[in-house]
Chain A
């Protein structure tokens, strides 16, 4: 989708009103007041305080890096960072893989089937958070339907499956990554022209050559973009993990919220440092995918041409 810059909004266009009445008072700026108030009080101020607070020592109020050091010194929090990173990378990778083939199939399918498939994706993308966690509990929890089936038929893998673990979380996370990833990738596949495939086969190349030399390089920006969206989506996900495991599994969003609400003694400075780490992870993956995109390679040159 391209957002064509409209003339009226293009930088440099002369303002409409000022031209007619240069000496008019600036009453019109009042229209901006609610917006500025909202942005300052609920976006900029909280965010800046959070960042500043992460560098402040709790008692003395002086500048320190101790809050960040503490994240790595305690196993509980080190685990939270590592678990969040692993869970998000893995669920984004698996989600991407399924989404790739799903989107490819949808792109090549008849319009009727594609729109049915898209409706299913759209519908199930609404199924997340607490309801999703609960439905996996009745499916694979301690008395879950599939667990019962496993016991009945002696399927060891199902019988002893533990949903309340890393693999359980991964399973549930992959569920919400698939619809999102597929919906994001379907439009990207439309950029692939059938002529290209014909051209490759005319020059004697098979499907493998087409995909590695043409298809994937063209899709690369969308694939990387989708991956970073899926990663951010997983790394900041809270409701699903909270409903499934409460505080019993160390994940960044859960540990962050614990520092500000609930029964544990509040440690705002430490919590802020954890939150900054989460932001760094999200920004880091986004920047990394941008960097990969602009790395000068032969393939890169091919898709930029």
Chain B
């Protein structure tokens, strides 16, 4: 009996928290579907606001810009970190500690400090330093570095990179070739998960793009911010669309993770319990 009551209490707590968290989301969705909400219930069910958005040629560019600016830095950062990890893994294992510190610093800097310090340093300099888009891409690379590094490091921890490279070297392979052909393919699925997380982080960024991008590079978030002062319903529709896109990204992260776990399980069974993750 006591156990029953406890389960009910737990369920109530979870339900209350869930309702509290979902309420603003639901409301935004409802708000985008009705023409007016000036009394208790909204009136005039319509999809007009979505239609208007899709008909507006100015709607697509910010979305495309957001997609570009949230993927290019992630690819760049993964590539740069992978190359650096080659030197650390193969040639200088002792540099591991410095690498870890350098890669975790941006996490404690947070967007606002990183963005203003970059802007303050480079905005007065001549091109190419003062190019806002280059500044934005590089700042994003640094911002997501902690996640990229963690993703690569965790995947490295799960495989025996040293043995792999040694084996390849015995067969006459250059260590770089061994790293790129043998180690990196084993890291890809782990890196993909952290990369997708970074993409969703950059997709929702407003701080850095507002400070550095300004009017030079107007993303979906900036477009949304300007729209807020025009039409409530239109803004709600835009929020719903952006949120759906974010959910798509996180859903793919979840799928990838599950697939990885399944693969790991299969591998583990193959390894017959020698290898514990």
Contacts and interface: CB of A to CB of B under 8 A. Distances in A.
Binding between chains A and B: yes
B133 interface: no
A254 B27 CA distance: 28
B33 interface: no
Interface in B223-277: 224-225, 228, 232, 235-236, 239, 242-243, 246-247, 250, 254
Contacts of B14: 102, 105-106, 109, 113, 117
B116 A256 contact: yes
A238 B204 contact: no
A108 interface: yes
A242 interface: yes
B28 A182 contact: no
A20 B176 CA distance: 14
A275 interface: yes
B75 interface: no
B165 to A, nearest CB: 6
B206 to A, nearest CB: 4
A42 B91 contact: no
A43 B105 contact: yes
B6 to A, nearest CB: 7
Contacts, number: 271
Contacts of A62: none
Interface in B130-183: 138-139, 141-142, 145, 153-154, 156-157, 160-162, 165-166, 169, 175-176
A73 B177 CA distance: 61
Contact of B160 (A8, A46, A110): A8
B90 interface: yes
Given A15-B91, A238-B112, A260-B211, A130 B224 contact: yes
A59 B47 CA distance: 58
A8 B161 contact: yes
A60 interface: no
A15 B156 contact: no
Given A35-B81, A129-B204, A130-B225, A139 B141 contact: no
B113 A50 contact: yes
A124 B105 contact: no
A106 B11 CA distance: 8
Nearest to A257: B211
Given A130-B228, A239-B206, A42 B157 contact: no
Nearest to A279: B113
B116 A34 contact: no
A275 B117 contact: yes
Contacts of A261: 116, 119, 211, 214
Main secondary structure of the interface of A (DSSP, over half): helix
Interface in A32-68: 32, 34-36, 38-39, 41-43, 45-47, 49-50, 53
Interface size, B (range): 35 or more
A19 B163 CA distance: 15
B119 A135 contact: no
Nearest to B26: A135
Contacts of B11: 105, 109, 113
A16 B91 contact: yes
Contacts of B243: 126-127, 131
B161 to A, nearest CB: 5
A264 to B, nearest CB: 14
Q: Which of A35, A149, A178 is packed against the most chain B CB atoms within 10 Å?
A: A35
Q: Which of A4, A10, A18, A253 is packed against the most chain B CB atoms within 10 Å?
A: A253
B51 to A, nearest CB: 20
Interface stretch (B34-42, B52-60, B63-71): B34-42
Given A34-B79, A45-B121, A113-B14, 11 more contacts: A9-B157, A15-B93, A16-B90, A16-B175, A39-B102, A43-B114, A43-B145, A113-B11, A134-B224, A242-B210, A253-B112
29 contacts: A3-B154, A3-B157, A16-B90, A16-B165, A16-B166, A17-B90, A31-B86, A34-B83, A38-B141, A43-B106, A43-B114, A45-B121, A49-B120, A50-B116, A50-B117, A53-B120, A105-B11, A109-B7, A121-B21, A122-B250, A126-B243, A130-B228, A134-B235, A148-B38, A243-B225, A257-B116, A261-B116, A271-B120, A275-B117
Interface of B: 6-7, 9-11, 13-14, 17-18, 20-25, 27-28, 31, 37-40, 77, 79-81, 83-84, 86-94, 96-97, 102, 105-106, 108-122, 138-139, 141-142, 145, 153-154, 156-157, 160-162, 165-166, 169, 175-176, 200, 204, 206-207, 210-211, 214, 221, 224-225, 228, 232, 235-236, 239, 242-243, 246-247, 250, 254
Q: Which 3 A-B pairs have the closest CB atoms?
A: A8-B162, A35-B84, A236-B110
